[in-house]
Chain A
């Protein structure tokens, strides 16, 4: 088996990211460190995207704070299985707050993509959607293929949240698509676009 790639899952992360962000409108996006930050950037760098270069385990709670501050805006957290596993408690924190405008999407390739494609816990059967549901996030599911993705997309964009989807994606080496690296710039750009200040 080639540790760097697996075609077990048909969906490809860059295409899924493009589909998720194609009609983003006024959506606010937080992208977890590593591959999902590159995926969001490959779909088109945007001032209302906040891609992380660190803070592992923090993507979901950053999205939660943003969703509570901006209840009229859709907030999408797009992160990987490694980041999600490091912040599992945040699913419980989200469930207690019940932000109707928050969607959490995990691109689950069952790998730590930035460190040599080592298997994550999901490769051994840990079920992130079941954990989200058990935490109290009522709408939680796993997407395995294009048909299921098309069924989930409208919910991710607009259904009352909080909601959680683990999207199983192919493990594959991809070219980097790097967002700006200066966090203060990313933050100020985001606030200027959202708040005008």
Chain B
């Protein structure tokens, strides 16, 4: 079945994204699999999300575009490293699957999830929300164009209501 991750994948191909950096999230599982299966994309699993900010700055120095996939909790890990994008005007496309905002069962996700967008904005990023699966492709395309043409950090927050709240078997 073709769904919103497939639509995002097609746009990443169109955007000529070559390096796919990620700390996994359940919401990104299908997109991670799709990217890993594309010979034009290099998957780079990270130990912490801030590595992705640096990695993709290096990719841009070398003439390649990338994307950083993470869960909302990872945004806090990126805060100081995001200064790279401001000091150097590096483009950075971030696709962030949300936790802690819609039917969240884990109270430890609420703190970062309720502050993800504002944190990114404080760091100088442009933030788009994706609440409607039918808009996944064009939202990512719009964000990618603004990131790579504007040399700006641009984030797409993929709503927890769209992904489905995690229930751990309940």
Contacts and interface: CB of A to CB of B under 8 A. Distances in A.
A89 B50 CA distance: 10
B117 interface: no
Interface in B59-85: 59-64, 66, 80-81, 83-84
A70 B63 contact: yes
A69 B59 contact: yes
Interface residues of B, number: 32
B150 to A, nearest CB: 13
A16 B53 CA distance: 29
A66 B55 CA distance: 8
Contacts of B51: 58, 61, 87, 89-90, 93
A55 interface: yes
A65 B58 CA distance: 4
Contact of B58 (A56, A64, A186): A64
Nearest to A96: B45
Nearest to A50: B61
* Interface size band for A: 35 or more
Contact of A93 (B46, B56, B59, B83): B46
A183 interface: yes
Interface of A is mostly: helix
B61 A68 contact: no
Contacts of B39: none
Q: Give the one of A28, A55, A90, A96 with max B CB within 10 A.
A: A55
Given A57-B81, A68-B62, A69-B18, A183 B55 contact: no
Interface in A52-97: 53-70, 87, 89-90, 92-93, 96-97
B81 A58 contact: yes
A67 B64 CA distance: 11
Residue of A28, A62, A68, A195 most packed against chain B (CB within 10 A): A62
Contact of B84 (A60, A67, A90, A183): A183
B159 to A, nearest CB: 29
Given A55-B80, A62-B57, A97-B44, A68 B87 contact: no
Contacts of A50: 61
B15 to A, nearest CB: 15
Contacts of B48: 89
Contacts of B18: 69
B24 interface: no
A53 B58 CA distance: 15
Contacts of A14: none
Interface in B17-47: 18-19, 42, 44-47
A28 B22 CA distance: 25
A50 B60 CA distance: 12
Give the top 6 A-B pairs by smallest Cβ distance, nearest first: A65-B58, A69-B62, A89-B47, A183-B88, A58-B54, A183-B87
